[in-house]
Amino acid sequence: MSTIPITLIPVLKFNNMYRATPNLSRLFNEPELQKSCMTFIIKGSELKEKPTLSDVLEILCSLQQGTTLRTVSDRFSNSARPNFDIRRLVVFAQIHGLIKCLKRYPVYLRNPPRHNGFNTRVDPVLGIRRLFTGKHCADEICCLARIDLPTLEQIIEEDPNVAIIWR
């Protein structure tokens, strides 16, 4: 029985931010990786003009902190360049470690207030804020606190003492 390697990547969402990794230079230097990338991104599409390595690198280098995948996708979909599946490019690049999905890590800038005394009701939001240490990403906090991402975003947005670290 043979084993098949499996690679897990974050769910592709257009509001995610990605950034190039040092491994992106492999795409410049490895012809096999280039060929594999081109085959992967045009699979199932009928293009009159094939994308170039320059087209692919321009998109991958446009992915950076502060720029969502939606922004990059919209910018390149309105151009005259060959149209290929940008989602497939992002998946390929993540699988091969060429880009990384950035995650949000909330940090509470000052210690959350503690409730001392008897019969003090504990605020469930305060419990969530105890996870804002910079060690837990937003997705992990949602799982631990059993809340959805929009609820967590609202808690973060409404509290001026919470900062976000992207990494």
How is the chain split into domains, by residue range? 17-101, 104-115+122-166
Structure tokens at 131: 């996870």
Of the ranges 42-51, 122-131, 150-159, the best mean pLDDT one: 150-159
**Mean pLDDT score, 80-87:** 77
The residue with tokens 């081109």 is 38
**Mean pLDDT score, 11-34:** 94
pLDDT-above-70 percentage for the chain = 88
Sorted by sequence, the CB contacts under 8 Å of residue 27 that are 6+ apart come out as 33, 34, 37, 53, 56, 57, 60, 98
Beta strands in the chain (DSSP E): 17-20, 99-102, 104-108, 162-166
Q: 107: pLDDT confidence band, cut at 50, 70 and 90?
A: very high
Stated pTM of the model: 0.79
CA distance linking residue 145 with residue 141, whole number of Å: 6
At 35-79, the pLDDT tens digits run 999 999 987 777 677 889 999 999 999 998 889 999 999 988 877
